[in-house]
Homo-oligomer: A and B are copies of this chain.
Amino acid sequence: MLLISASNSGFSVRKASGERLNNPSGAKVSEDLLNKVVSLAKRRGFIFQSSEIYGGLKSAYDYGPLGVELKRNISNCWWESMVHAREDVVGLDAAIFMHPRVWKASGHLAEFSDPLVDCLNCGGRFRADKAPTLPPESPVTFRAGGKSDGDELQGTVSDRGYICPLCNCPNLSAERQFNLMFRTSIGPVDPLDKAIKKIVHGRMNAKEIRKTVEEALQPSAIYLRPETAQAIFVQYQNVQQSLGMKIPFGIAQIGKAFRNEIITEKFIFRTCEFEQMELEFFVEPGTEGDWLDYWSKARMQWWQTFANSTENFRLRPHEADELAHYASACYDIEYAYPWGWDELEGIASRTDYDLRKHSEESGSKLHFFDQQKEDPETGKPGYRYIPYVIEPSAGLTRGLLVYLLDAYTEEGGKDADGNDKIRKVLKLHPRLAPIKAAILPLVKKEGLPERAEKLSLEFFQSGINARFDAQQSIGKRYAKHDEIGTPFCITVDHQTLEDETVTIRDRDSTEQQRISASQAVQFVLDGLKK
């Protein structure tokens, strides 16, 4: 009955089995962990709701001063490992606007939609494929208007075999397909002008008006991309030829995508505007199985590199009935979110589906010609084929949520007066931490701020994102930097003025040691390499 709150986005068919809602055994999953992370994210400047002073825009989020650094660090780590550290992958950054025929070829115009249903009792709108199922003709009891004080009514489940997830009513509107792409209009035209002129003079019925309007909108219609992947397929040839890439090779891209989701949920887990980190890796037909295994393991390892609780990540092969229409096999990297195992990244074997579709629709030959190989059919030298594709497709914004959840820790302890207190620590991997080092004068006088500022400057010049912080007591500053995940706190005290040493405090152990101020930059640099 809770399926609606663990729903997945459309297009590929997903299995919503009860198992995925369970918490993994042994994993530290607190019921209110999500609430705590949401609260910290706002209070400390990681994530704000969009347009909050206007009551907020549902499901849109802004990344604040610390959130933008965390997001940049995750995406830079991905880019370095995928593009810079590999000879066989190059990057791309395509426009969000693309030619509408891209979406015709890819199938998104016709098929990227969810079945939408209205409840005739409570007026709720929901996805038919996510509604609670019951056998046809089962008797159901529900309340009039979906209200707890409404009259009790009786009904019978229809042949469609589902009921309203909000009020259990079986009396529902017809299903209609709702396309998830955002549509807008480009060019110095008002497409409705033309339609309105025709409608006024045409004495049309609703269907004819709809057709007239759609025909008027069509020439200037343009869509916000619902995935970054298609831009890579469309530019496959330009990239391959301009860089002289040889199969196997990949094209990587980080960018925004937009889906007019019927249900947005769980903070930044599912939003209409989100960021993807996608690789399309082009391989010779027949080798896709090995590459699927390779990338599934490589990507799993990558996520775990920056995590504290590696057991909260798992690799789950898709069952046959979950596969998208373009995929021959797929793995999901799942994370143990507070609401259970759910998707973080998908690694799909997309066959030659996309390049073949774009070849057909555009008339361009999106082949690869391997001079070194024989054609397996004719036995002649030279093998021309449409490459197969392995696609590791990760959610950047979803990854950010995962690392916040993974890092959030509460530790019991005592305060200076011996009272119990809880230490909140964000145990982010040092490479992901928004601020790498806090430079803290012990007090705001006696030359300590000036000495600390001088040290800050050294950090800036080394390209380390450090932060000078002189407000509040030293204890409060330590607590703040624990809470935002700063791995190192460097304190300039009176002894510094005497012997040029500073204390450096480790976020996780809270242990402090005294080191030479001149070694502080190198100490932090070494800590970031771990």
Contacts and interface: CB of A to CB of B under 8 A. Distances in A.
Contacts of A184: 182-184, 224
Nearest to A50: B95
Contact of A196 (B64, B116, B213, B251): B213
Interface stretch (A98-106, A305-313, A422-430): A98-106
A87 B460 CA distance: 10
A97 B239 contact: no
A51 B98 contact: yes
Interface in A162-188: 178, 182-188
A244 B467 CA distance: 13
Contacts of A102: 51, 54
A256 B255 CA distance: 10
Contacts of A213: 192, 196
Given A60-B98, A65-B90, A213-B192, A52 B238 contact: yes
A114 B53 CA distance: 29
Contacts of A190: 178
Contact of A94 (B42, B53, B63): B63
A44 B241 CA distance: 9
A35 interface: no
Interface in A232-285: 234-235, 237-239, 242-244, 251, 256, 260, 262, 272-273
Contact of A242 (B44, B95, B366): B44
A522 interface: no
A55 interface: yes
Contacts of A99: 50-51, 54-57
Given A51-B98, A53-B358, A99-B56, A239 B186 contact: no
Interface stretch (A11-19, A199-207, A508-516): A199-207
Interface residues of A, number: 95
A239 B65 contact: yes
B64 A92 contact: yes
A94 B48 CA distance: 9
B188 A178 contact: yes
Given A102-B54, A273-B95, A64 B364 contact: no
A272 B97 contact: yes
Interface stretch (A66-74, A146-154, A341-349): A66-74
A115 B521 CA distance: 57
A291 interface: no
Copies per complex of this chain = 2
Interface in A317-364: 358, 361-364
A29 interface: no
A482 to B, nearest CB: 16
A125 interface: yes
Contacts of A260: 185-188
- Interface core residue of A50, A53, A125, A242 (most chain B CB under 10 Å): A53
Contacts of A461: 85
Nearest to A181: B184
A459 B475 CA distance: 42
A60 B224 CA distance: 13
A98 B48 contact: no
A97 B197 contact: no
B62 A235 contact: yes
Nearest to A79: B72
A93 interface: yes
A286 B225 CA distance: 45
Contacts of A90: 45, 65
24 contacts: A44-B242, A52-B235, A52-B238, A53-B358, A53-B363, A53-B366, A54-B234, A55-B99, A60-B95, A62-B93, A62-B94, A62-B231, A63-B94, A64-B239, A64-B243, A65-B91, A65-B251, A68-B91, A69-B91, A116-B188, A182-B186, A188-B262, A196-B210, A200-B206
Given A65-B91, A84-B465, A196-B209, 20 more contacts: A43-B242, A45-B242, A51-B234, A52-B238, A53-B363, A54-B101, A57-B99, A60-B97, A61-B95, A62-B94, A62-B235, A63-B94, A65-B242, A183-B184, A184-B224, A188-B260, A196-B206, A197-B206, A200-B209, A224-B224
**Shortest Cβ-Cβ A-B pairs, 3 listed:** A51-B99, A45-B242, A65-B90
